[in-house]
Structure 1
Amino acid sequence: MTKEGKFGVCYSVVAILPIITGTDKAILRQKTAPVSRVTKEILKLLKDMEETMEDAQGSGNALGIAAPQIGQSLRACLVRIDDKILPLVNPQITWKSNEQDIMEEGCLSLPDIYVPVPRALQINITYTDTKGKPQERGFEHLYARIIQHELDHLDGIIILDYI
């Protein structure tokens, strides 16, 4: 997103936001509010979240970020799928496979902590895209795990809850 400044020069208005860290932060433990509609402000928030995610671990190592992690109690998150960032607004899991695996997970809000977490190997979700259109999609293995992790954040759950 750009804005025209003095003398007709365009500049970026993307921000890198501070990531909320620690186990005692109330916003990380709250169920988030649904996004009523995708507005310019929501699109700006998603872009800022993307920049924050990219900056957080350098060169694209972060796999996702949820709005509560940057201080916003909104049902929105970003996930890295096939080296692209997929914004999910109001995501919901509509189906989970019974088959699970357990892998260690880390979290931007809990630096240097890794916890073995059981997750469904396959999921189906519904979400709203950045154009405000409803979407349905299935994911498996690592991508299913990333989405389940981020949706946990939207429900006030952190990886330490799996211990």
Structure 2
Amino acid sequence: MLKTILIHPDPRLKKKCDAVADLSDELRTLAADMLETMYEAPGVGLAAPQIGVLSRLIVMDCVKEGTPEPTVMFNPEVLSSSDETNVYEEGCLSIPDQFAEVTRPKEVRVGWIDMDGNPQEKDFDGLWSTCVQHEIDHLNGKLFIDYLGPMKRQMITRKSLKLKRELAR
């Protein structure tokens, strides 16, 4: 079932999320709904707080062409990151049509719990690395615009507020 994606500014997007204590069928259904919502948007990642659920859950799929690789992560955390950085033009489904270059570690190792409750660890690079870091930031109440200077951040927030008002009409 498609979920409504919150638009910045929304106080729920700035809150730190609670760890998922126990995987329930309800949470698995939520993850499937999030994947459906992400693909429909379309986007490459979505975090639970973006649909108003303050739980540590993200979904992502950075495959642009070919066989999709939907990835669901409960309680994801960056275990290590490279000193080498990468600059990527990021956008966000909660900040539609706004993009900015963000510098992040080029490679990260992430640990999480999968849909079956099994612990996983994997190294990510390229778009996958940027995406997983972006989505984990959401779980900590941080948006990609928080990496920008104050003027650029304010400009994007004003545009987002204007869009929110137009959508409310």
Structure-1-length-normalised TM-score: 0.86
Partner of 2:92: 107
SS at match of 1:118: strand
Taking the aligned partners of 1:109 and 1:140, their CA distance within structure 2 comes to 24
Could you tell me which runs of 5 or more consecutive residues in structure 1 were left unpaired when the two chains were aligned.
1-14
Could you tell me which runs of 5 or more consecutive residues in structure 2 were left unpaired when the two chains were aligned.
149-169
SS at match of 2:73: strand
The answer to whether structure 1 residue 20 and structure 2 residue 6 are counterparts is yes
The answer to whether structure 1 residue 119 and structure 2 residue 104 are counterparts is yes
Percent of residue pairs identical:
35
Amino acid in the other structure paired with 1:122: E
Structure 1 runs, 4 residues or longer, greater than 6 Å off: none
Amino acid in the other structure paired with 2:58: C
**How do residues 1-163 of structure 1 correspond to structure 2 at under 5 angstroms?**
15-23=1-9, 25-57=10-42, 62-82=43-63, 83-163=68-148
CA offsets 1:117-151 (integer angstroms, 9 cap, x no match): 11111100110000001111111111111100100
Q: CA deviation at 1:81?
A: 4.2
CA offsets 1:12-51 (integer angstroms, 9 cap, x no match): xxx101000022x111001100000111010010011011
CA contact (8 A) 1:101 1:118 kept: yes
SS at match of 1:150: helix
CA contact (8 A) 1:74 1:154 kept: yes
CA contact (8 A) 2:62 2:127 kept: no
CA contact (8 A) 1:115 1:162 kept: no
CA contact (8 A) 1:94 1:125 kept: yes
Please state which structure has a larger fraction of its residues in helix.
2
Taking the aligned partners of 1:90 and 1:143, their CA distance within structure 2 comes to 17
Taking the aligned partners of 2:130 and 2:145, their CA distance within structure 1 comes to 16
CA offsets 1:96-134 (integer angstroms, 9 cap, x no match): 000001121000000011111111111001100000011
Q: CA deviation at 1:79?
A: 1.1
Residue-pair matches, total: 144
Taking the aligned partners of 1:29 and 1:74, their CA distance within structure 2 comes to 13
CA RMSD between the two structures: 0.9
